[in-house]
Amino acid sequence: MKWILIPILSAMPLFALGQEWHSGPDKVALVELYTSEGCSSCPPAERWLSSLKDKPGLFSEFVPVAFHVDYWDHIGWKDPFSDKAYSARQRRYVREKAASQVYTPGFIIDGQEWRGWFRGQRQWKDPDKESGVLNAKLQGDQLTVTFTQKQPATLNVAFLGMGISQQVDAGENRGRKLVHDFVVLDLVSEGGEGEWTLQLPPVPDAGQERTALAIWVSSPGSQQVLQTVGGYLLAGN
């Protein structure tokens, strides 16, 4: 098990209250945005992704995540949320022929490239409804996840930062104040066969207003999404 940590971030203790999330039998879409603070065409895509936090179905029908890539970092501005592992994830989609090429902003929905956003679409095609049920329980720093399809699968868990403000002083977005939601601050992936128990590290502190968890299982040996669940973390005592 390997956590991907962004070095500049400090950490907050995990929330104390026990919480549970359940996907239900219908497929929950994982909506991935590949973005960068160094990309001038990314803010409109990020604003649209942010708008999903007010849309009915958040976390019950779809879970948005924003991966900040690092291949823009050499052009005047280093994105503090970028990580080479997130760029590698996008490139893997290309190798798996699930995406045509690496670019930002780039959308992947349930493991397949979605270019409808560039044609003015703001609603994707709902995924197939046949899927297993994904259950997750967080107690303290221990996360227990079960998937009713007892088959080899990869569990993915991401901390998401909401309401993060960032002043950009160089690069294509120089002079702009950007606001981010659903930013992947930390990610872990671990193989298994329908049952996982993980001890989570402290929540990364990026100055976010709220923190959420995105949890999804994917096919072994690929990034094809099988089921997704998620929700906001509640502050404990």
CA–CA distance, 126 with 105 (Å, rounded to integer): 21
Contacts (Cβ under 8 Å, ≥6 apart) of 120: none
Q: What is the mean pLDDT of residues 126-131?
A: 74
Q: pLDDT confidence of 5, banded at 50, 70, 90?
A: very low
Summary mean pLDDT of the chain: 90
Pairing of strands 183-192, 210-218: unpaired
CA–CA distance, 114 with 12 (Å, rounded to integer): 35
pTM greater than the 0.95 cutoff: no
178-191 pLDDT tens trace = 999 999 999 999 99
132-181 pLDDT tens trace = 999 999 999 999 999 999 889 999 999 999 999 999 999 899 999 999 99
Stronger pLDDT, 109 or 11, i.e. the higher one? 109
Stronger pLDDT, 29 or 6, i.e. the higher one? 29
Write the CA distances from 192 to 136, 197, 217, integer angstroms. Answer: 15, 10, 10
Task: Tell me whether residue 76 is exposed, middle or buried, using C-beta atoms within 10 angstroms of its C-beta: 0 to 12, 13 to 18, 19 or more.
Answer: middle
Task: Tell me whether residue 91 is exposed, middle or buried, using C-beta atoms within 10 angstroms of its C-beta: 0 to 12, 13 to 18, 19 or more.
Answer: middle
Alpha-helix runs per DSSP H in the chain: 42-51, 84-95
Contacts (Cβ under 8 Å, ≥6 apart) of 140: 14, 16, 18
Token pair in block for residue 237: 């005592």
Domain ranges of the chain: 19-116+129-232
pLDDT of res. 15: 53
pLDDT of res. 13: 53
CA–CA distance, 33 with 90 (Å, rounded to integer): 10
Q: How long is the chain? A: 237
pLDDT of res. 4: 40
Residue 51 has pLDDT above 70, yes or no: yes
